[in-house]
Structure 1
C-alpha cells in the first residue's frame, strides 16, 4: 500500500469540511511515528519546562486549598503569591511560548519537507531541524509583529474607553466581535509564512485574502478540531485532580510537590502532543483555500501530463512479449 501524503499533489486539493477533518486524521495516521519522533526531540523538552513552572504555581494553590480545608480562618489567600508562585508563573509563560513556537515550527517544517521532497521517505529529525533553524528568526519576528498589533489594538481600545466613558459598554459590543472576527484569518498567518516563505506583512495580508468568503468554514474547522483535541486532553488533566485531592486529604505520596510537578508535566506534554490536530487541520484548510482561489494544484497536475513514463499496453488476446508454450 503506497504511503499517504508524501507528495505535493496529495495536499493541494479542494476539500469539503468532512474531507478536511478526514485528511487530518489520515495524515496523522500515516505519519504519527516520524512526526511523533520529531515532536519528542524538539517539543517535549520545552514542554517539561512549562510543566515545571505550572507545577510551582499549582502546588501553591493546592497547598492553600489543603490548608483551608483544615483551618479556613487561619489561611491568608495572599500567602499563595510568594516567590515560588511568581517564578513558576514566569517559567510557565516562557516555556509555553517556546513550546508553542517549537511545536508549530516542527509541524510546518515536516509538511514543508514533504512538499519539496521527491522521495516517498518520511523526513528525519535532522532534516526537520535544518528547516526549523533556517526559519526560527522569522518565526520570532512574526510573533513580535502579532504582539505589536495586539498591543496597538489594546491601547486604542483603552484610549477610546477613557474618552467615551458613558458609551464604553457599546464600544465593547463593537470591538470584541471585531477582534474575534480578525482572529480567524490570523490563524492562517503562520501556514502562509512558513509554507510560502513570504515576508512578514505580505503573509499577514495574504492570510486575510485567503479567508475572504470562507470565514465560517475556517472558524468551524478550528472549532471542531479544537473540540476533538480538547476531548483527548481530558485524559491528561486527570492526574491534576488526583494531586489536588491528595493535598486536601493529606495523602503522603499523592499530595507531594514532586507528584504535583509530574502531573503538570504530563498535562503540558499531552496538550502539546495533541495540538498537531488543529495545526494539521489548518494546513489542509490553507491548501483548500489556495486551490479554490488560485488552482495551483490543478495547474501543476496539468503541467505534469506527458512528463511521466508511457503506460504499458496490456491485452489478453495480443501479448507480443509472450513466447508461448513449448
Structure 2
C-alpha cells in the first residue's frame, strides 16, 4: 500500500504536536472521511432533525395540557437515534484511522463498511460504562468527575484500535496516568473547536427560535414557527453538527498511539518486524 505522504500516528508527540497532527490529519483526509461519514450517517442525521422538530412542535402544542408531552414518541426516537449516530460516528472514524495505519490492500471504504457497524453494540456498552463512572464521580464532587472523564477518555479508542484488547478501562488509566494534564489540556482545546462548530450549525435554528420568542411577546404569548417544514430543515442542519465530534476522536487516537509508543514502543516494534520481513523477502 502506498504510504507516501501518510501521517505517522505511531510516534511520540508532545502537547502541541498532538494538536498539530490532529488538524493536519483533518486537512489531509477531510474530503474522503467526510464523504464516507455522510454516506453512512446522513439518513440517521436527517431522521434526528425530523424527530427533533416534531418533538418541539408537540411540546409547544401540548405542554400546557399535558406536562408529560416532552416524553413523546418523537422525543424518544430522537434520543435513541442520536445515541446510535454518535456511537456509529465513533466507530466509523476510528475504523477509518485503523485502516489508515494498516497495510491492508482492502479499500478504506470497504474496510470501514465491513467492520464499523458490527462494533457499535460493544461501543455502546463501553460508552454506558464510561458515562456511568463519570456520572458517579461527578455526584461525589465535580473534580473527581473531571478526573475520571479524562483518565478513561481512551476507552472507546482502545476498543477499536486495540484489536479487542481486554480491560480497556485499566489500559486507558495506565496510559494516561502520568499524562493527565496534557490529555486534559488537549481535550479542552478540541472540545472548544467542536463546540464552536456545533453552535454554527445550530445558529439558524436558534435565530428562528429567538425571533419567534421576541415576536410572540407582542402577541401576548411565545409562539413557535408556523412553518413545520422550515423547522425540520433547520433541525436537520443542526443535527449535522454532530459530525464535528470527529475532531475529538482524531485527537484521542493520536494521543493513544503517542502514549503507546512511549510505554510500549509499538511503532518501533512494527518497524523492526517490517525490516525482518523485507530481509526475508530479499533472501527468498
TM range (shorter): 0.7 to 0.9
Q: Secondary structure at the match of 1:182?
A: helix
- The residue number in structure 1 matching 2:251 is 281
- The residue number in structure 2 matching 1:33 is 31
Q: Which is further off, 104-113 or 233-242?
A: 233-242
Structure 1-normalised TM-score?
0.72
Contact 2:152 2:173 in 1 (8 A): yes
Corresponding residue to 2:21 among 5, 9, 23: 23
Distance 1:288 1:14 in 2: 4
2:159 is equivalent to residue 193 of structure 1: yes
Distance 2:198 2:260 in 1: 31
- Per-residue CA deviation, residues 241-263 of structure 1 (Å, 9 max, x unaligned), is 3321453437xx96422211211
- The residue number in structure 2 matching 1:53 is 51
Distance 2:134 2:200 in 1: 33
**Match runs of 1:155-174 below 5 Å:** 172=140
- The residue number in structure 1 matching 2:6 is 5
Contact 1:34 1:123 in 2 (8 A): no
Greater share of helix: 2
Corresponding residue to 2:108 among 113, 123, 142: 123
| Larger-gyration structure (1/2) | 1
- The residue number in structure 1 matching 2:231 is 260
Structure 2-normalised TM-score?
0.82
Contact 1:191 1:286 in 2 (8 A): yes
- Per-residue CA deviation, residues 187-227 of structure 1 (Å, 9 max, x unaligned), is 10011111112355x11110110001101111111110011
Change (3 A) 1:81 1:88: farther
Q: Secondary structure at the match of 1:227?
A: helix
Distance 1:207 1:80 in 2: 45
Change (3 A) 1:245 1:180: closer
Distance 2:247 2:133 in 1: 27
Change (3 A) 1:51 1:3: farther
**CA RMSD, 1 decimal:** 3.2
Change (3 A) 1:304 1:205: same
Aligned residues: 271
Contact 1:185 1:208 in 2 (8 A): yes
Gaps (5+ residues) in structure 2? 217-223, 280-284
Shift of 1:23: 1.0
Shift of 1:295: 1.2
